[in-house]
Amino acid sequence: MAINPNHGSDPETNSGDEQSGADPETANGADADGGTESGVGTEADGGAEADPPAGRQAEPESGLESETAPTAETGTRSVEESGTLAWPARYARDHLVHIAVLAVLLLYPGVYALLIDSPLRSELVALLPEVETMIAVFYFGLFAMSFDFISGYTGYLDFGHAVFYGTGAYVVLLAGSGKVPLLPAETPFVLLLVLAGLLAATLASLIGALSFRLSGVYFAMITLGFGQVVYVFVRGWEFIGSNPRDGLAVSERSGFEIGVPFVDSLSLAIGQLTGDEFSVLATTLSTSEVSYYLVGLVVLVCYLAMQRIIHSPFGRVMVAIRENEDRAAAIGYNTFRYKLGAFAISGFFAAIAGGLFAGFQRAATPDSSFFFLVTGDALLAAIIGGFGTLAGPLYGRLFDEGVREFLSKAGEGGGLLPYLREHLSEATLGTDLVGGITVQGAIETFLNGHASLYIGALFVLFVLFVPDGLLGAIRARLGGPIAKRLPDRIGERLPERFERYWKALER
Amino acid sequence: MTALLAAAIASEAASLPLVPPLLLAPGIDVVGSSAFGFLPGVTLVALGSALVEFLQPVNLLDVFLNGLAKSALYIMIAVGLTLIFGLMGVLNFAHGSFTMIGAYLGGLILVLTVSGATGGLARIGLFLVGVLVVFGVLAGLGGVLEVGLIRPLYDRSPVYQILLTFGLTLVLDELVRIVVSLYGLQPISDWQNVFGTRPAFIASSLGLGPVDVPGLALFQIAFGVVTVGAVWAFLTRTRYGLIVRAGSEDPEMTEALGIDVRRVFTVVFALGAGIAGVAGVLLMWDPVWGASVPLAAETLLPAFVVVIVGGLGTFRGTVVAGVLVGMVDAAMTWWFQNAISFTGLPQITIFLILVIVLIARPQGLFGVEGVGGH
């Protein structure tokens, strides 16, 4: 069952081009930047090489064209240049995009606080996700990434992934309410997370040992079966409380703190009500902001760990299994063990995500943690963000939550309706549309709280037209991971543009 | 399966006085709990005496008849899915949504046409009209969806068909939720007015020898038998059924013989969607299921279980698996009501059947290896 057969091979071919840089034809051909555009660009540039001043004068507009299309010449040059760069500079260059994304995320709470005081206040409140929403994006994004780790990279669609998410959540909540023997209620949260992760990894090994004998649709179905067995079991498990269907909430324990275990000064609690505030440089971070940074930190560490595994020889074998399992086995890899290992790792991180969810919310129900539609949400995020891209699912979830918040009911983070109420007059909102339905009524009926409809429709469109997802599609267009290709493309164009201006000045 | 559980709990309460005195004897803790609440504090003695009780012919007959009714429902839910999978290899996640839409449409037709004065036979007649209308509407919907959305995906990995139909479920469920709440109904609870359109003999129980059988159960069994017969006749006695079977066996060969397999795909998808809708019409009269938006997920999962247990794409397997699951469900419901206090017992057993069958016989009871990505 090969998902996204393009992904595995694309970066390889392109990085090959990048390094050799010797074959201008290939370099140009591999560029995914539309045919017509680059055709014009190359033509113009060919002229420029032969007789630069004449070429420029004859076609004054062609400068614009060639800027958008990198040429073989400049491509080769930039690669040669980057070869001479010292490695720290090259490293920083390769991670420029990552640093930029991190910086945006790092500054987001502050910027959000500033922006909602600006004149565009109501527009921005309606459009931007709240800091609390971003926390949910983080932990659920981690869950979606762990789903992508197993399903996107080995090609085995795990429809029971919510089991591990739920395991994480329930371990934290059960331990936090002192219901787990030998574990005091005040056990450090970080230890609980690791414990939950290990438990989930064990569970994954057990489920995987039975499930990985199957493949394709059957694998999806047996994991769904296991998932539902656990879900139904938890829903009726009276150990949890008198009404296990209502789930579990932690009431006594103080906030779940992230930091160095047993060192109070080096850890801060998360949660909206039980979290800590933190003062630094004359500003005080609210409980949400503290949670935002701490949850974000854990998610970042987990992401880096998974990213590392994907790019290790182990991860290469996972991709090989996705592309052609028989061949991987024929080469001599024990694919069963690799799949099992990948499944356990994925379960580990899913449980961390669940633990973060439980630690922040301090409550969970079987339907919000173990149900198969929770896996469905992760699937949604993974497909929209990009299947088999690891970071993509986080963006997919951001997209998903963003739309949901935008179309949420009043009082759940602001969105379209509160905004319209503020800005449109009563008369406009009360206008009759068809059959006695007012504008406001129509919005309330068709938009508010019905984000699933629009997300579902978008999802269908994504499956049909953008099967690689947001990140996957951009990567395909750039011809490799964004962080690697984007600086190159900018680097290819800037010197050229500079040179052109210089020549124009000389004349 | 919220409705199922609620009904099970309700019937448990109703049946408590019927628990034989033996079970209530001191020292036998029927609903007590041990350290792990789910492992009920039922002692072996209690289990033993419950087994003796279970094996009484009256109880066995009761469970058997209930099991047949449940089997009929499970088969009805799963037949469409198995037809579609057998021919096209598409695991249709939107199947439950078709059933749910069928339940609402059928309910709408009956609520609009049935008045208090309508007689029993007339109600059955209107029900059959509803079945025809719903079949037509959903077959049309299924055909349109197949041509418009699923057809472009046949040359891609089967995962994309799962993903697409999953997305369809979200859209369809949410649309129905919008429409239903527009008319002031609660999308998550059963549509109560529909239950009022049942003829008197279906709403009551009939004495059949030593046991009381709900008229509804008999009606469901009859309906299930007729549907199974009709589908079987279609597959084995008509020319088009022959083509469908040939297409399931070897699509390329069928195409080589000059048959437009793509069109057969559309027809079978429409047929499957139509049968799913008819199953919904049948479910709307059953208080355990009822017409509600969550019905989509409630029916989708058992349908998967039945189809997978039977072997993806075999009609015979689906019927056998439907009977198996129905019987186990009925038996486990009895045990839950009489001996074991774990609420999820019937459901958990159904999913355990799925897991065990997949481990022991991955291709399902009647499945052929090589179908569905083996």
Per-residue pLDDT, A255:
75
Q: What is the ipTM of this complex?
A: 0.81
Handedness of CA A377, A453, B100, B180 (dihedral sign): positive
C-alpha span between B191 and B181 (Å, rounded): 12
**CB contact set of A263 (below 8 Å; sequence gap of 6+):** none
Report yes or no on B191 lying in a domain. Answer: yes
Tell me: pLDDT of B22 over 70. no
Which residues in chain B have Cβ-Cβ distances shorter than 8 Å to A225?
Answer: 305, 308, 351-352, 354-355, 358
Report yes or no on B287 lying in a domain. Answer: yes
Question: Which residue has better confidence, A258 or A376?
Answer: A376
pLDDT digits (tens, 9 = 90+) for B324-354: 999 999 988 888 877 777 777 888 888 889 8
Tell me: pLDDT of A40 over 90. no
Neighbours of B256 (CB within 10 A): 10
Cβ <8 Å between A218 and B305: no
Whether the CB of B23 is below 8 Å from some CB of chain A: the reply is no
Cβ <8 Å between A214 and B374: yes
Which residues in chain A have Cβ-Cβ distances shorter than 8 Å to B362?
Answer: 213-214, 218
C-alpha closest to that of B39 among A190, A450, A239:
A239
Cβ <8 Å between A233 and B178: no
Instruction: Give me the amino acid identity at B309.
Output: V
Query: What is the arithmetic mean of pLDDT over A161-188?
Result: 87
User: How does residue B369 score in pLDDT terms, banded at 50, 70 and 90?
Assistant: low
Question: Which residue has better confidence, B363 or B322?
Answer: B322
Whether the CB of B25 is below 8 Å from some CB of chain A: the reply is no
Domain that holds residue B111: 2-6+40-360
User: How does residue B187 score in pLDDT terms, banded at 50, 70 and 90?
Assistant: confident
Per-residue pLDDT, B157:
78
User: How does residue A411 score in pLDDT terms, banded at 50, 70 and 90?
Assistant: low
Which residues in chain B have Cβ-Cβ distances shorter than 8 Å to A232?
Answer: 344, 347-348, 351
C-alpha closest to that of A151 among A76, A211, A110:
A211
Query: What is the arithmetic mean of pLDDT over A469-483?
Result: 82
| Residue A7 exposure: Cα atoms within 13 Å on the Cβ side | 26
Neighbours of A482 (CB within 10 A): 19
Per-residue pLDDT, A128:
79
CATH number where B334 lies: 1.10.3470
The answer to whether residues A148 and A389 touch, using CB atoms and an 8 Å cutoff, is: yes
pLDDT digits (tens, 9 = 90+) for B118-134: 777 888 899 999 999 99
Strands (E), chain B: 205-208, 211-214
Report yes or no on B181 lying in a domain. Answer: yes
Give the one of B157, B312, B374 whose C-beta lies nearest to A2's C-beta: B157
What share of chain A has pLDDT > 70, as a percent? 77
User: How does residue A58 score in pLDDT terms, banded at 50, 70 and 90?
Assistant: very low
C-alpha closest to that of B226 among B70, B75, B64:
B75
Question: Which residue has better confidence, B137 or A122?
Answer: B137
Report yes or no on B21 lying in a domain. Answer: no
CA distance B41 to chain A (A): 12
Whether the CB of A464 is below 8 Å from some CB of chain B: the reply is yes
* Torsion angle (degrees, nearest 10) of CA A466, A468, A470, A473: -90
Per-residue pLDDT, A133:
86
C-alpha span between B66 and B325 (Å, rounded): 12
pLDDT digits (tens, 9 = 90+) for A64-116: 333 344 444 444 444 445 556 677 777 777 788 888 888 888 888 888 888 87
Per-residue pLDDT, A286:
80
Cβ <8 Å between A1 and B159: yes
Query: What is the arithmetic mean of pLDDT over B352-362?
Result: 87
The answer to whether residues A135 and A360 touch, using CB atoms and an 8 Å cutoff, is: yes
pLDDT digits (tens, 9 = 90+) for B188-233: 888 888 888 888 877 777 776 777 788 888 899 999 999 999 999 9
Give the one of B167, B348, B374 whose C-beta lies nearest to A463's C-beta: B167
Whether the CB of B374 is below 8 Å from some CB of chain A: the reply is yes
Whether the CB of A2 is below 8 Å from some CB of chain B: the reply is yes
Cβ <8 Å between B343 and A235: yes
CA of B311: which chain A residue's CA is closest? A218
Tell me: pLDDT of B368 over 80. no
Helices (H), A332-361: 335-361
pLDDT digits (tens, 9 = 90+) for A190-203: 888 999 999 999 99
Quote the mean pLDDT of chain B. 81
Question: Which residue has better confidence, B303 or A479?
Answer: B303
pLDDT digits (tens, 9 = 90+) for A338-355: 999 999 999 999 999 999
Candidate from A81-95, A143-157, A451-465 with smallest mean pLDDT: A81-95
Per-residue pLDDT, A85:
63
Give the best residue of A228, A234, A245 to mutate against chain B (max B CB count within 10 A): A228
Q: Residues of A numbered 232-291 whose beta carbons fall under 8 angstroms of chain B's beta carbons: which are they? A: 232-233, 235-240
What share of chain A has pLDDT > 90, as a percent? 27
Report yes or no on B45 lying in a domain. Answer: yes
Number of Cβ pairs < 8 A linking chain A and chain B: 140
Query: What is the arithmetic mean of pLDDT over A373-379?
Result: 91
Neighbours of A282 (CB within 10 A): 5
Query: What is the arithmetic mean of pLDDT over A455-465?
Result: 89
Tell me: pLDDT of A152 over 50. yes
Whether the CB of A495 is below 8 Å from some CB of chain B: the reply is no
Helices (H), A155-281: 162-176, 189-211, 216-235
CA distance B38 to chain A (A): 5
Whether the CB of A149 is below 8 Å from some CB of chain B: the reply is no
Report yes or no on B12 lying in a domain. Answer: no
User: How does residue B252 score in pLDDT terms, banded at 50, 70 and 90?
Assistant: confident
C-alpha span between B230 and A177 (Å, rounded): 57
Per-residue pLDDT, A321:
93
Q: Residues of B numbered 277-316 whose beta carbons fall under 8 angstroms of chain A's beta carbons: which are they? A: 297, 301, 304-305, 308, 312
Cβ <8 Å between B362 and A455: no
Q: Interior CA angle at A396 toward A392 and A397, to 5°?
A: 120
Whether the CB of A297 is below 8 Å from some CB of chain B: the reply is no
Per-residue pLDDT, B345:
83
Whether the CB of B160 is below 8 Å from some CB of chain A: the reply is yes
Report yes or no on B90 lying in a domain. Answer: yes
Q: Residues of A numbered 434-463 whose beta carbons fall under 8 angstroms of chain B's beta carbons: which are they? A: 445-446, 450, 452-453, 455-457, 459-460, 463
pLDDT digits (tens, 9 = 90+) for B47-59: 778 787 777 877 8
User: How does residue A412 score in pLDDT terms, banded at 50, 70 and 90?
Assistant: low
State how many domains chain B has. Answer: 1
Per-residue pLDDT, A436:
64
The answer to whether residues A259 and A328 touch, using CB atoms and an 8 Å cutoff, is: no
Question: Which residue has better confidence, A478 or A282?
Answer: A478
Tell me: pLDDT of A28 over 50. no
Report yes or no on B244 lying in a domain. Answer: yes
pLDDT digits (tens, 9 = 90+) for B274-290: 999 999 999 998 888 88
Which residues in chain A have Cβ-Cβ distances shorter than 8 Å to B159?
Answer: 1, 3, 157
What is the helix, strand, coil percentage profile of chain A, to 5?
70, 5, 25
CA distance A190 to chain B (A): 26
Question: Which residue has better confidence, A321 or A50?
Answer: A321
Phi, psi of A258 (to 5 degrees): -105, 135
Structure tokens at A490: 């900018």
Cβ <8 Å between A222 and B355: yes
Give the one of B38, B166, B347 whose C-beta lies nearest to A237's C-beta: B38
C-alpha span between B77 and B307 (Å, rounded): 10
The answer to whether residues B166 and B93 touch, using CB atoms and an 8 Å cutoff, is: yes
Per-residue pLDDT, A6:
44
Cβ <8 Å between B372 and A217: yes
Q: Interior CA angle at B362 toward A340 and B75, to 5°?
A: 130
Structure tokens at A346: 């994925």
Per-residue pLDDT, A50:
39
- A198: exposed, middle or buried (Cβ count in 10 Å: 0-12, 13-18, 19+): middle
Per-residue pLDDT, B312:
73
Which residues in chain A have Cβ-Cβ distances shorter than 8 Å to B156?
Answer: 467
Cβ burial A120-135 (10 Å sphere, 16+ → b, else e): eebebbbbbbbbbbbb
Whether the CB of B361 is below 8 Å from some CB of chain A: the reply is no
Quote the mean pLDDT of chain A. 77
